[in-house]
């Protein structure tokens, strides 16, 4: 194996975190901001790109960092190594309510494609690259743009899905239509394209956008029930207008409600 062989355990239900067990000299890479805690003896190092072997040398590191800019991520990744005798643990947390999905890349032919903000962490040696869309419609209307993340190698990787996760196994020629924002990731055998919803009423009054994501097998697809864009939209829609306190969500009893709950500052 070129990637480090790590053990792990996932804790929690809605706000999960994954604990990675590192043997001596084993390492794990993670996105900046996902770190939760680590045992004494684990060394943290900031690196360009993903630190995989194919990004060796100065030019390779620059190219690896450049790929991360295209996906909207930081130039840097964080690597954690066990530099002492005995096993040590390091943990990474979900960015918002959902599920952490362990991806054994050896089970998927060494490659997994996921949305740009889904990747959480992976064994040292896994390559975190980019996957360009070769189809104009998918790039313009697919919800993920022309670029998705590509995880390659023979180790374990962990991605995050918002809300509840559904895993769908598609046979050859079998098709699944998904909201464009609900895709977490899929295996390399999946044919991913977009499809116009069609129909005047669906287009104007449906409220579900103009396009579906069309996924055709064979392969595996992971779908999330609560993409971050949907969560952020609902939070923004519920925020008080004009920077002030929202008086009773527009209710005519809003002021009276403030008196009843003790908030009588006008």
Q: pLDDT tens-digit profile of 96-143?
A: 889 999 999 999 999 999 987 889 999 999 988 888 765 544 444 444
Q: Residue 238: what pLDDT?
A: 72
pLDDT at 241 over 70: no
Rounded to whole angstroms, the maximal C-alpha distance in the chain is 68
User: Phi and psi of 158, rounded to 5°?
Assistant: -130, 125
Claim: this prediction has a pTM higher than 0.85 = no
Calculate what percentage of the chain has a pLDDT beyond 90: 42
What is the mean pLDDT of the segment spanning 33-58? 78
What is the distance between the terminal CA atoms of the chain, rounded to a whole angstrom? 67
Instruction: For residue 224, count CB atoms less than 10 angstroms from its CB and return exposed for 0-12, middle for 13-18, buried for 19 or more.
Output: buried
116, 71 contact by CB (below 8 A): yes
Check residue 6 and report its DSSP letter: -
CATH entry 3.60.160.10 includes domain 7-237: yes
Nearest Cα residue to 91 out of 112, 5, 100:
100
- Band (pLDDT 50/70/90 cuts) for residue 84 is very high
Q: Residue 266: what pLDDT?
A: 45
What is the chain's mean pLDDT, rounded? Answer: 78
100, 17 contact by CB (below 8 A): yes
- Band (pLDDT 50/70/90 cuts) for residue 80 is very high
Query: Where in the chain are the domains?
Result: 7-237
Separation CA 80–CA 45 (nearest Å)? 6
Q: Residue 140: what pLDDT?
A: 47
């Amino acid at each position: 194996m070129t990637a480090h062989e790590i053990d792990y355990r996932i804790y929690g239900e809605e706000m999960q975190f994954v604990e990675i067990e590192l043997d001596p000299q084993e390492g794990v890479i993670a996105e900046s901001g996902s770190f939760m805690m680590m045992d004494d003896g684990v060394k943290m190092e900031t690196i360009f790109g993903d630190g995989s072997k194919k990004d060796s040398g100065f030019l390779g590191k620059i190219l690896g960092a450049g790929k991360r800019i295209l996906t909207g991520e930081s130039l840097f990744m964080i690597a954690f190594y066990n530099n002492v005798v005995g096993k040590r643990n390091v943990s990474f947390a979900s960015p918002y309510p959902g599920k952490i999905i362990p991806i054994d890349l050896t089970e998927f032919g060494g490659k997994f494609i996921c949305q740009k903000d889904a990747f959480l962490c992976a064994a040292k040696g896994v390559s975190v690259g980019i996957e360009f869309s070769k189809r104009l419609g998918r790039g313009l209307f697919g919800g993920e743009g022309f670029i998705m993340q590509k995880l390659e190698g023979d180790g374990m990787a962990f991605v995050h899905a918002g809300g509840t996760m559904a895993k769908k196994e598609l046979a050859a020629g079998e098709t699944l239509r998904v909201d464009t924002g609900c895709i977490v990731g899929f295996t390399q055998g999946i044919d991913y394209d977009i499809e116009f919803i069609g129909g005047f009423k669906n287009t104007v009054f449906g409220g579900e956008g103009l396009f579906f994501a069309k996924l055709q097998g064979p392969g595996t697809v992971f779908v999330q029930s609560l993409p971050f864009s949907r969560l952020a939209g609902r939070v923004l829609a519920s925020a008080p207008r004009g920077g002030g306190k929202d008086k009773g969500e527009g209710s005519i009893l809003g002021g009276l409600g403030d008196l009843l709950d003790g908030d009588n500052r006008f």
